[in-house]
Amino acid sequence: MKRLIILALGAVLCANAALAQYYKAGNDRFSVKVQPFVGDYLDKHHNMKIINPTLPSGVNLGFELPSSQQRPWQQYLNNSTAGVGITYMDMGDKVMGHTVSIYPYIVLNCLRREHVELGIKLAAGLGYCTESHWTNTLDTDTDDPTANYTFGSNLNAYLTGGLNFNFPISRNIALNAELGFAHMSNGRIKEPNKGANILYGGIGAIATVNPEKEKEPIRFPSLPYRWSLNITGAVGSQNADMADEKNFFISTFHAGAIYNVTNWYGVGLGADVFFNDAIGAESNRGLFRTDITYKQRDKIRAGVSLNNELQFGRVTAMVDWGIYLYNPARHCYNSDHPIYGYGKRPLFYKGEGAGSDEAWNYIRFGVKCRVWDNLYVQALAKTHYHIAEMIEFGVGYQIPFISKNKRQTGKDIIFHNREGWWNNY
């Protein structure tokens, strides 16, 4: 998962740096997409190999809003397309069930020519699966090898991305093809949580409704700030083991400084403090030692992170990579490490893969949405290597500092996202 995130981020950066300077003649009203697809499971876990499902297949439906060239973020991202998608998928076996997912997405334009358009699709939303471990397994038979260990809950996170191709036939009709990757899991809110990774391909069509009167494109100034400070608090819940069904409280505090390299991409450094009540001997999971008494400070981790932000107007996608500078839990793992021994790991140690809590570094990725002024809500997943530790939901405030040469008055230091802000700059 970490490699896929890094590759996706690199692809977005390279694609937007080399965008072709070609624009459609008009600004379409909206489009409707229908796209049947078929895929295959990647990295099948042991339980999935026993069930041996057929190839997952289904249909993607999309309601798209092509750029009207009337909003700043549309201009900054070369008039990319935003949309809302619905995906129906047959998971290939009655034990695996069927899923229905809904998600917002964006297609970042890489190439726009008369006969072909190429874009990178990024999406995140929720998926509902008709079957989970607990719908087809008796409580007294949780070790059934033919049960569904892929999903521990009916409701899961749904992440997808890939290459999107359009082949215009007329002003109103285009053929569409997509090669993408989809991931579904619940981020350990409910065990078991093996999750599903699917590589898929689809071919469909897009019908576009054009406006009666074309709007004149607006040219917007650059964002009036370079530096911004993010302050966020978040909470969540983690299910440590499916046998005891206990959920533990988790929380995060984050403060980070972001430098906006462009109008749509920012990078910076952050400080993170995590609390995870699942660190202890209260679960049947057995990851942590039972011969010691845990204090609250043993459940706290703190680190520094490299923060990346991809900005789409009100919505921002985030990918952070961090290292722990304070991590007492590294001494509490219930395993004899072949290099360091029992409970004697240094701050930066070679992982043994005992579980998702064992690592000296972490990844956080997710989205945040500005709801009022600079106030935002967010949802992020925190992982160690490719395994999720938790999903968190939070609220925060962004403080953008207006560049000195763009301040209108001596008191005009903090930028506020208001309608028509571009008229003042």
Question: In angstroms, rounded to a whole number, what is the distance separating the alpha carbons of residues 250 and 28?
Answer: 45
DSSP 87-106: EEEE-SSTTT-EEEEEEEEE
Question: In angstroms, rounded to a whole number, what is the distance separating the alpha carbons of residues 307 and 256?
Answer: 8
**In the predicted model, what is the mean pLDDT of residues 61-67?**
91
In a domain, 218, yes or no: no
Same domain, 232 and 178: no
Region of residue 73 (phi > 0: left; psi between -120 and 50: alpha; otherwise: beta): alpha
Give the pLDDT band (50/70/90) at residue 363: very high
Question: In angstroms, rounded to a whole number, what is the distance separating the alpha carbons of residues 144 and 158?
Answer: 26
Give the pLDDT band (50/70/90) at residue 22: very low
Same domain, 174 and 124: yes
In a domain, 300, yes or no: yes
Q: What is the pLDDT of residue 178?
A: 97
Same domain, 135 and 266: no
In a domain, 313, yes or no: yes
Report yes or no: 80 and 311 within 8 Å, Cβ to Cβ: no
What six digits make up the tokens of 379? 């949802």
Angle at 142 between CA 48 and CA 88, to 5 degrees: 45
Q: Which of 177, 209, 241 is the last residue of a domain?
A: 209
Q: Is the model's pLDDT at 97 over the cut of 50?
A: yes
Question: In angstroms, rounded to a whole number, what is the distance separating the alpha carbons of residues 169 and 29?
Answer: 18
Q: What is the pLDDT of residue 1?
A: 45
Whether the CA torsion 35, 38, 43, 47 is positive or negative: it is positive
Report yes or no: 70 and 220 within 8 Å, Cβ to Cβ: no
In a domain, 370, yes or no: yes
Beta strands in 346-386 (DSSP E): 361-372, 375-384
Give the pLDDT band (50/70/90) at residue 137: low
Number of domains within the chain: 2
Same domain, 7 and 92: yes
Buried b (16+ CB within 10 A) or exposed e, 362-392: bbbbbbbebeeebebebbbbbbbeebbbbbb
Closest CA to 87 of 79, 95, 99: 99
In a domain, 216, yes or no: no
Same domain, 202 and 253: no
Same domain, 122 and 234: no
Same domain, 242 and 331: yes
Same domain, 58 and 178: yes
Same domain, 166 and 248: no
In a domain, 217, yes or no: no
> In 10 A of CB 3, how many CB atoms?
8
Same domain, 419 and 284: yes
Q: Which of 174, 209, 244 is the last residue of a domain?
A: 209
CATH number for position 374: 2.40.160.20
In a domain, 219, yes or no: no
Give the pLDDT band (50/70/90) at residue 213: low
- Average pLDDT value for the chain: 87
> In 10 A of CB 190, how many CB atoms?
22
Q: Which of 185, 209, 233 is the last residue of a domain?
A: 209
DSSP 61-73: EEEEE---S-SHH
Q: Is the model's pLDDT at 401 over the cut of 70?
A: yes
Enclosing domain of residue 239: 225-424
Same domain, 234 and 199: no
* pTM assigned to the model: 0.85
Closest CA to 392 of 285, 272, 243: 272
Q: What is the pLDDT of residue 9?
A: 46
Same domain, 87 and 134: yes
The secondary structure of residue 220, as a DSSP letter, is -
In a domain, 214, yes or no: no
Classified as helix, coil or strand, 26 is: coil
